[in-house]
Structure 1
């Protein structure tokens, strides 16, 4: 679909789709079909990529426990759109298995795969690999180096079969070989400038969001990323900063507000519940705690509605996207499935497609 002459602009980020539903147990099968339908439409409308996350043990994102399996289904349902994981929590997994699984998906897609890797943040997830929890940020990069080496066809040597006094190193190469020569990699971070810097100097891309940073901080972090690339001898204009943000488009923003507010409230409430176990026990009484949570939820909803969401008509969205491009964002991945009905999701895609 071509942009209309009065809306078209080269000065906007690439547009992708992000799916990250909060789903009740009795609607998973329906939601999977909606996801596949969304992917097919995004593919048809020439969106750049479709992203899905890795989540465990909670309804918030609970339909995405295995991004490689999900991505294989998306590959089979689409023809050209890039298939991205946002994100594989690498410290939860053996790099050997990660390289195997994603090389398989890369072959199925004939080279459409890209993977964002994160250190993880949700404590309960690490029941899957508890020894990595405290050192997860260091493990992220040591494991990533192994995945990249295996992807290139190199071998790794493991010592897990050794016994005291009886070394039995095993040298391994994973199969199948990947379709792409190198795995396209993003590092996921909320607001940590050190991770933007690390990604830049390693020549990696960045996947970020506005949950834990302001627009001003995002702009500073984008600049930090470019400076790190330049200091490492890389093209500072290369690499990709991808911003995930809630998106609904079609009617003007004011007309969308009555439907957006309850959908965002439910979505952010589920996210806050997921985050509760990261905090220490409250010293406040229950009533005071509930009041603080209610205030935080209301403030969060209004923040997204007024500043941190891609909401409104094509013209309104175009203005926001142009500003994000000026602030250093290369790709916007619109999170579309946060509680709005499927027909609104499809309207959003068709409206944003006029800007492509």
Structure 2
């Protein structure tokens, strides 16, 4: 018997700034299992753990569970416990402890945890907890829990807390039973666990999401037309630009999905390109932007992305789009009428497959079978965006499911964009997600140089030709500029040619479109001009600029422009980047009081879900917190105590009680 790497065990374990990988935890668990085998421990035997270091305690508990022994845990930090009496009462067959505690167990059969490494295979964590035996915990009280009670505790945590891309910090001062069980819960859900008292303020920056107004990510976006004059090496610009981005710490590269049209014609399959990009890069995130998911089977989407994730060692991401051009739907014509709803369903299906779950689906004989994807992905959670052309309803839908946003500056009025992003952040909050933990990426045409007029003259011809490669784009522009503002939400969508517009009209309209792009909806011109646009966009609460660079300029010109873009990017790089931005904290009230004494620590509280153990309404009231109470003894029935709202209240905090009394 040994413990294997389950798909949900891909998180990391952080203590005092030190990172412990899942393979390290598994190695320790396997050593414990080997000891149980060699010492002839049998099912239902009592095994005792007296271990203070969670790096050894948690793997030991997992090993005990796999072996189906009765586990007794003693809190080593409780000086009031009579260890000798506990041993005489429980008669453990074996005691696992650390060398520093060995003298407490004179005459007993003990094992010192920590030596040789051993790799092995671990059953699925869902099975793990089905195998749990009895767990007895000695602290200020003695509590014995069976598998049913532990499952109830875990289910209550599931209903209280979101589990998508979360990082969970636990204070060692919370009740010991909660501390142990919540670590086990987080690990079983693929959540990274942080154990740190934050006594060192400098450590705070390892874990805190601060909305620094000087932080902005820059990625590269591609949507180039298929130019038949470059038939020999159509992807040279793409790959050389991406190599530059990878070397210079750009955040991501985006490749779209386009079909049956010259416009965007270089990019019919973002998955194939993503695999190629993975082989020539080391750092940059590789994102399909966008993947028109109703044109594909959900299982195929998950398989392709997982392959990219493996090839890139954990850098895959995807923005889902519903599609709009009916001709594209030759692959799945039946999906066209309900494409938006189908896309939202596919996002959930792909997430389930990514996390290792099986789904039921019909095979060639129309029989229902259970399928899962291989290879298993590297990342615990797939980074997901939803592509939004302009409809505020889609912004809100993305917020409801906790997705990031990919949008554009093509025909959206920037003031309207601000309203839509605000609605998206509110939808995140209303759906239980931390609004600051999700990202708004905005695509903008980009070309920078030394002089605004020189840049404008240089880009005029290529950009107008790029615009003219889709007359539907021009027609959308006509509606947004001539008919009414309400038509803007259909602009920027590209389709097939329409010959009802004359060449002279097309040229005139392309000139109008070009002027708008250059002056109001792009990063074109000098660094200084682009910086003004960025400051405007930052005020709208965006997190990333996706710089579209392949609209017809030569490779030499684009690569030179990237050097200016890199200079601009460096102005907005994050100086203190949190390694593990905590999104959930279980802390004590005393910690909260300390946090509120410093502005930056207040920000620490604002940007996450809070769980509070020693809950005293009157004290929290005096701190002007917006308080809600959760009591696990009452099946997580939410009780609104008092809402004390003012301008300084922690509006994004969620304060709850987890009792150690079930």
Q: Provide TM-score, normalisation by structure 2.
A: 0.49
CA contact (8 A) 1:222 1:328 kept: yes
Which sections of structure 2, spanning at least 5 residues, go unmatched?
1-211, 476-492, 571-662
CA contact (8 A) 1:45 1:350 kept: no
Name the counterpart of 1:211: 410
SS of equivalent to 1:30: coil
Alignment partner of 1:137 out of 326, 333, 340:
340
Provide closer, same or farther for how the CA distance between residues 38 and 28 of structure 1 changes in structure 2, counting only shifts above 3 A: farther
Alignment partner of 2:398 out of 174, 183, 199:
199
Alignment partner of 1:316 out of 529, 551, 561:
529
Deviation (angstroms), 1:291: 5.8
Alignment partner of 1:128 out of 297, 322, 331:
331
Which sections of structure 1, spanning at least 5 residues, go unmatched?
1-8
Deviation (angstroms), 1:352: 1.4
Name the counterpart of 1:240: 439
Greater percentage in helix? 1
Question: Is 1:104 the equivalent of 2:307?
Answer: yes
Alignment partner of 2:249 out of 40, 46, 68:
46
Name the counterpart of 2:388: 189
**More displaced stretch, 224-233 vs 29-38:** 29-38
Alignment partner of 2:230 out of 7, 15, 27:
27
SS of equivalent to 2:386: strand
Q: CA RMSD in A?
A: 2.3
| C-alpha distance in structure 2 between counterparts of 1:28 and 1:116, whole Å | 29
SS of equivalent to 2:320: strand
SS of equivalent to 1:64: coil
CA contact (8 A) 2:456 2:525 kept: no
CA contact (8 A) 1:12 1:322 kept: no
CA contact (8 A) 1:60 1:274 kept: no
- More relative contact order in 1 or in 2 (CA 8 Å, sep 6+)? 1
Alignment partner of 1:148 out of 346, 351, 365:
351
CA contact (8 A) 2:472 2:496 kept: no
Deviation (angstroms), 1:77: 1.1
SS of equivalent to 1:191: coil
C-alpha deviations, 1:111-143, integer Å up to 9, x for none? 111100100122211111111111111110111
Name the counterpart of 1:175: 374
Deviation (angstroms), 1:161: 4.1
| C-alpha distance in structure 2 between counterparts of 1:134 and 1:29, whole Å | 39
Structure 2 counterparts to residues 1-356 of structure 1, below 5 A: 11-159=214-362, 161=364, 168-272=367-471, 286=500, 293-355=506-568, 356=570
Provide closer, same or farther for how the CA distance between residues 252 and 10 of structure 1 changes in structure 2, counting only shifts above 3 A: farther
CA contact (8 A) 2:261 2:496 kept: no
SS of equivalent to 1:242: strand
Deviation (angstroms), 1:238: 2.2
Structure with higher Rg: it is 2
Deviation (angstroms), 1:213: 1.3
SS of equivalent to 1:237: helix
Name the counterpart of 2:177: none
Q: Provide TM-score, normalisation by structure 1.
A: 0.90
Name the counterpart of 1:4: none
Provide closer, same or farther for how the CA distance between residues 160 and 211 of structure 1 changes in structure 2, counting only shifts above 3 A: farther
| C-alpha distance in structure 2 between counterparts of 1:139 and 1:270, whole Å | 30
CA contact (8 A) 1:12 1:318 kept: no
| C-alpha distance in structure 1 between counterparts of 2:541 and 2:392, whole Å | 14
| C-alpha distance in structure 2 between counterparts of 1:341 and 1:26, whole Å | 12
| C-alpha distance in structure 1 between counterparts of 2:531 and 2:497, whole Å | 44
CA contact (8 A) 2:251 2:284 kept: yes
**Number of residues of Structure 1 aligned to a counterpart in Structure 2:** 341
SS of equivalent to 2:378: coil
Provide closer, same or farther for how the CA distance between residues 274 and 211 of structure 1 changes in structure 2, counting only shifts above 3 A: closer
Provide closer, same or farther for how the CA distance between residues 278 and 324 of structure 1 changes in structure 2, counting only shifts above 3 A: closer
